[in-house]
């Protein structure tokens, strides 16, 4: 379910390829995807999210620190939102294994909120300790699409049981997100995805400059697990001429879950507080700082922040910049063309360069937005429609 593989395969992740569409230029059919007003004047912000990648996959394990039982739950790469509920089930199970009902959670991003809610729903009294809250956490700047194996691990670095654990997390998360469908504000919804191409299947695409590290720096290939979810993955279909407004001659449509992150985070936070949870502003600077917390059991959901806080050099930063266009009420779909992607959410239309391969942004911890590059993406996006 890596987002590049999904988009290139019509978001199905099942190996579907774009088929040739014959006829003249496409025209917009009734109920078809509406064009986006893609102009730089509608670009209202540019954000950068650094994803916490670990070659061995997410760290979900117990460590004793200063008399506390710390359950780590971080390092999900580009799959934090998608795996959050499933990760929470495992982490909370470890945290409450001996009947403890007083739990501390460090971090208030996607992993922290879902872990706190999961523990709370199991009967625990939960307090979140965090330096930042939404919208100032990194997961607030996520792409917002269902992508449970997006740079989740390296194929040669995981243990034998990782695939099964990943599938358990993915299915649990997928099932839980179904309960958020149809809610006011659409925190989670099914939306269409379109895979656009200039060339029919089997033809070599125009070469694109690659950011792939030299062989001496590569330890393996990124792990692909999407086939394990084939039974819950909608299949892509060819779009006939006249049924879409895109210039590309080869178009396929699929559907995927979209996270409207602003509303989803608000919903999760509200649910947590209504359930009796507390959020305490606090910055922890080193592992020993957990001694300041009154709770004996701590779930550590600090994401990329764990690299500094827990001195975890296994975390590799992966930079991802997003250009945000003003949302359009009649546009609720995503599309991929070349190395550019867009997803229209309720809280904004996110435009993002994905690069020629999975190594795009790998090892880059720069979180400074690049407005000039964002403007160029929007100008490229504007050429997609007839």
What are the structural domain ranges in the chain?
A: 3-384
* pLDDT tens-digit map of 37-58: 999 999 999 999 999 999 999 9
Strands (E), the chain: 43-54, 59-65, 68-74, 102-106, 125-130, 188-197, 237-238, 250-259, 278-281, 297-300, 315-325, 333-337, 340-345, 348-353
Name the phi and psi angles at 268, rounded to 5. Answer: -65, -40
Query: Could you read off the pLDDT of 328-346 as tens digits, one per residue?
Result: 999 999 999 999 999 999 9
What pLDDT shows up at residue 220? 66
What is d(CA 299, CA 166) in angstroms, rounded to the nearest whole number? 19
Residue 207 has pLDDT above 80, yes or no: no
How confident is residue 201, by pLDDT bands cut at 50, 70 and 90?
A: low
CA–CA distance, 58 with 363 (Å, rounded to integer): 17
The torsion angles phi and psi of 117, rounded to 5 degrees, stand at -65, -40
Q: What mean pLDDT do residues 16-27 have?
A: 31
Q: What number is the average pLDDT over the span 108-124? A: 98
Per-residue pLDDT, 31: 58
Residue 378: pLDDT above 80?
Answer: yes
pLDDT at 127 over 50: yes
- Asked whether 86 and 241 are in contact (CB, 8 A), the reply is no
Contact by Cβ (8 Å): 281, 223:
no
Span 291-330, pLDDT tens digits:
999 999 999 999 999 999 999 999 999 999 999 999 999 9
Average pLDDT taken over every residue of the chain: 89
Question: Given the structure tokens 């550590």, which residue do they identify?
Answer: 300
When pLDDT is cut at 50, 70 and 90, the band that residue 226 belongs to is very high
Label residue 73 left, alpha or beta by phi (over 0 means left) and psi (-120 to 50 means alpha).
Answer: beta
Q: Lowest-pLDDT range, 28-32, 89-93, 157-161, 316-320?
A: 28-32
Summarised one tens digit per residue, pLDDT across range 155-168 is: 999 999 999 999 99
187: nearest Cα among 110, 276, 299, 275: 110
**Is the pLDDT assigned to residue 189 strictly greater than 60?**
yes
- Pairing of the two strands 125-130 and 102-106: parallel
């Amino acid at each position: 379910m890596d987002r590049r593989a999904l988009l290139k395969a019509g978001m199905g992740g099942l190996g579907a390829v774009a088929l040739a569409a014959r006829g003249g230029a496409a025209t917009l059919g009734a109920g078809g995807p509406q064009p986006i007003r893609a102009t730089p004047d509608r670009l209202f912000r540019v954000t950068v999210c650094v994803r916490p990648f670990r070659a061995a996959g997410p760290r979900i394990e117990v460590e004793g620190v200063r008399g506390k039982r710390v359950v780590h739950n971080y390092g999900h790469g580009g799959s934090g939102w998608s795996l959050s509920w499933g990760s929470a089930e495992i982490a909370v199970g470890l945290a409450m294994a001996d009947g403890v009902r007083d739990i501390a959670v460090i971090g208030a991003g996607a992993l922290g909120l879902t872990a706190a809610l999961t523990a709370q729903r199991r009967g625990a009294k939960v307090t979140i300790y965090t330096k930042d809250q939404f919208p100032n956490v990194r997961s607030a700047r996520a792409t917002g699409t269902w992508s449970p194996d997006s740079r989740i691990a390296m194929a040669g670095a995981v243990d034998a049981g990782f695939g099964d654990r990943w599938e358990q997390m993915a299915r649990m998360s997928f099932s839980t997100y179904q309960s958020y469908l149809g809610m006011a504000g659409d925190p989670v919804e099914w939306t269409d995805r379109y895979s656009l191409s200039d060339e029919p299947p089997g033809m070599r695409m125009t070469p694109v400059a690659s950011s792939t590290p030299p062989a001496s720096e590569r330890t393996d290939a990124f792990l692909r697990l999407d086939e394990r979810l084939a039974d819950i993955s909608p299949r892509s279909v060819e779009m006939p001429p006249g049924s879409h407004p895109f210039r590309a001659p080869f178009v396929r449509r699929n559907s995927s879950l979209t996270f409207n992150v602003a509303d989803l985070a608000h919903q999760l936070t509200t649910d947590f507080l209504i359930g009796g949870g507390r959020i305490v502003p606090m910055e922890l600077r080193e592992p020993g700082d957990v001694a300041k917390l009154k709770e004996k059991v701590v779930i550590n959901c600090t994401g990329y922040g764990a690299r500094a806080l827990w001195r975890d050099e296994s975390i590799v930063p992966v930079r991802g910049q997003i250009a945000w266009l003003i949302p359009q009420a009649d546009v609720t779909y995503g599309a991929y063309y070349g190395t550019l992607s867009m997803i229209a959410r309720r809280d904004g239309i996110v435009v993002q360069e994905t690069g020629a391969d999975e190594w795009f942004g790998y090892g880059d911890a720069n979180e400074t937005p690049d407005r000039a590059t964002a403007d160029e993406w929007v100008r490229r996006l504007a050429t997609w429609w007839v």
